[in-house]
């Protein structure tokens, strides 16, 4: 996040051929200087006479951020069948030389339709608008759901010995494999 400017970079001439010395009022820049900056160039000739001009120096950040995700991540649905994650749950010390401005998730809310493995993308954006992403495998579990009891009446016929056997499947009014 640092850059150094020399007077020769903003002098529109050849200081050696012109036999002048150059001096600038600001030579070190960092992330706080992103954008346009006025820099004063002082040119001193052989006769010690000086002249100044102002150059606009634009500082840009060309280094993208580095997104880091925790992996894997498990979340459990609540009694209502919902759960949420935040960027803080997924971020694992993402970095940028000038700072991260925004974090966003491709999905943050989950329901029973999301039970199982979900691939979620964390996108980070730095202060210069550059982005990076990482993915995390989010496993959604539902350990709070109480199954619904669906009963139906059944008729049993006694065998020759006067006995009958009742199975749970005979009185369950649903599809046990689907439920």
More confident residue, 147 or 69: 69
Q: What is the pLDDT of residue 162?
A: 81
Complete DSSP assignment for 30-90? EGGG-EEEEEEEEEE-TTS-EEEEEEEEEE---PPPB--B-SSEEEE--TTSEEE--HHHH
**Rg of the chain taking only CA atoms, in angstroms:** 35
More confident residue, 63 or 156: 63
Q: What is the pLDDT of residue 116?
A: 96
Q: What is the pLDDT of residue 173?
A: 81
Q: pTM value?
A: 0.69
The model's pLDDT over 99-127, given as tens digits with 9 standing for 90+, comes to 999 999 999 999 999 999 999 999 999 99
* Per-residue pLDDT at 178 exceeds 80: no
């Amino acid at each position: 996040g640092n850059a150094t400017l020399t007077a020769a970079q903003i002098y529109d001439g050849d200081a050696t051929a012109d036999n002048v010395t150059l001096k600038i009022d600001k030579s070190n820049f960092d992330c706080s200087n992103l954008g346009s900056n006025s820099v004063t160039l002082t040119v001193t000739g052989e006769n010690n006479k000086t002249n100044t001009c102002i150059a606009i120096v634009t500082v840009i950040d060309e280094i993208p951020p580095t997104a880091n995700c925790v992996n894997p991540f498990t979340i459990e649905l609540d009694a209502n069948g919902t759960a949420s994650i935040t960027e803080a749950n997924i971020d694992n010390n993402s970095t940028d030389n000038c700072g991260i401005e925004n974090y966003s998730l491709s999905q943050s809310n989950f329901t029973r339709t999301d039970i199982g493995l979900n691939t979620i993308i964390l996108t980070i954006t730095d202060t210069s608008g550059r982005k990076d992403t990482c993915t995390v495998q989010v496993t959604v579990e539902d350990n709070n759901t109480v199954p619904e009891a669906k009963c139906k009446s059944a008729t049993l016929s006694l065998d020759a010995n006067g006995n009958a056997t009742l199975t749970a499947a005979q009185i369950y009014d649903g599809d046990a494999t689907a439920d």
